Structure 1
């Protein structure tokens, strides 16, 4: 009886850990697709990982040190990505904390952004994703932007 209970406990734990790892891999895949689309200038690929109703915001620090919250238009970003531009838009991220609760995920990604080979700015992205019948979709992005004190 004790062996059966132990086996059941191990099986339940292993299944839960496996499911969370699979979700985290799929979440990373959605975010990586976004950045691959930016590098390729592919707005169709970009839209494939965005949920309807996507919200974009940015936190910016003004010259006087005041922080402001800017609401941005996802359609403008999608159009900019798909409009031909000389330089490759290369946002290089590292994955920080990934939290998953059923169909909701949050992801912290420090980044450095390059236009072609030239460094432009850095900061942190914070993503909210939702699991849909067609996979994980990005529903919310907020970021910071600066030229120095870049996160590692």
Structure 2
């Protein structure tokens, strides 16, 4: 009986460690994506994305509402990899990370700078999948505004 109790206790104690490892690996994938943006490295950027990644954005309109805009991931990758004068510096903080098996969702408030100049802020929301090669981003949607920035 003691052996069964000990085995169950080890399983229960080890389960959060596996989840924490996943969360750290998920953070690493997202951090690598933003490092690639700062470096202007499209190869490094593309390595964080799964095939078929989807990009969307909520764009503010003049009347205060938002429109949903589908974006082209290939265009984004090309933009990052094309030499540009200012560094694309998106500064995030990790909010809620949820993991269920091979699916994860991540909420990250951000502030975007072109070089040292503030451009806009909002929320990035990521969906990731666990592959044999590690966690890959499958979906990104964001909000964009110039004020009322998240902390």
TM-score normalised according to structure 1 size: 0.97
State yes or no: 1:27 paired with 2:26: yes
Unpaired segments ≥5 residues, structure 2: none
Q: Distance in 2 between matches of 1:120 and 1:83?
A: 19
Aligned residues: 151
Aligned-residue offset at 1:13: 1.3
Runs of 4+ in 1 over 2 A off after TM superposition: 3-6
Unpaired runs of 5+ residues, structure 1, are none
Name 2:8's counterpart in structure 1: 9
Aligned to 2:87: 88
Residue 77 of structure 1, CA deviation: 0.3
1: CA distance, partners of 2:122 / 2:94: 13
User: For 2:129, what is the secondary structure of its paired residue?
Assistant: strand
Instruction: Note the aligned Cα RMSD (angstroms).
Output: 0.8
- In the superposition, the TM-score normalised over structure 2's length comes to 0.97
1:15 Cα deviation after fit: 1.6
